[in-house]
Amino acid sequence: MAGADAERLRLADADAGRAAWRRWGPYLSERQWGTVREDYSPGGDAWSYFTHDQARSRAYRWGEDGIAGVSDDKQRLCFALALWNGRDPILKERMFGLTNAEGNHGEDVKEYYFHLDSTPTHSYMKFLYKYPQEPFPYDDLVATNRARDRRDLEYELLDTGVFDEDRYFDVFVEYAKAGPEDLLIEITAHNRGPDEATLHLLPTLWFRRTWSWVGGTAVPGLRRTDGAIRADHAKIGPR
């Protein structure tokens, strides 16, 4: 492959099994709650059985979710960005949306986010999330959409007024691989509004809960060491 660019060389190494360039990528779900993947209800009502409000206190079984998230290809060790504007009642850890019964056009995520770039091996990725500075209007989105019928337009996040006067943050998350197992992350936040505003950035690392399954793995661990976080897992080793 004389003259091939770096990404073609990475692809060739990955296809030949010489380097696992695809092991880490954007494999974290954007919405795991309220889907058929997490339905253990006796009547098969996936949308109502596992709500967004419950998601911060219940363990998933079949996957995890997060904002601008990445994980290994088995979704064992996960990384995503959590945010707090100092005004929301909860951390912004995952996408909010309507369940099938709440949306006048069915289930729908009511957020603004954009996957801006990614190479085939995910050696570079770029993501944008738009986070309001006003309290996120969870109840308003549910109540207004539920009151509309299918002939009406959907009530979107922009319609709530939380982006008025550009009072929001553009949060860019970029990933770049220095090697198959060396992932660099840069988070850049821009205040687009006219005034100073508070934004807490909370990069979050966690394991999917597989150790409680029948035949599951040993319990992994996260601990602080030398100003860093060490993650130990029986299958993927120390990180």
Q: What is the pLDDT of residue 44?
A: 86
Tell me the pLDDT tens digit for each residue of 74-92.
999 999 999 999 999 999 9
pTM over 0.75: yes
Asked if residue 99 has pLDDT above 90, the reply is no
Q: Amino acid letter at 7?
A: E
The span from the CA of 131 to the CA of 95, in Å, is 11
Tell which residue, 55, 20, 52, 58, has the closest CA to residue 183: 20
**Under 8 Å between Cβ of 71 and 30:** no
Q: Decide: helix, strand or coil at residue 5.
A: coil
Q: What is the pLDDT of residue 213?
A: 82
Tell me the pLDDT tens digit for each residue of 196-237.
999 999 999 999 998 888 777 789 999 999 999 999 999 899
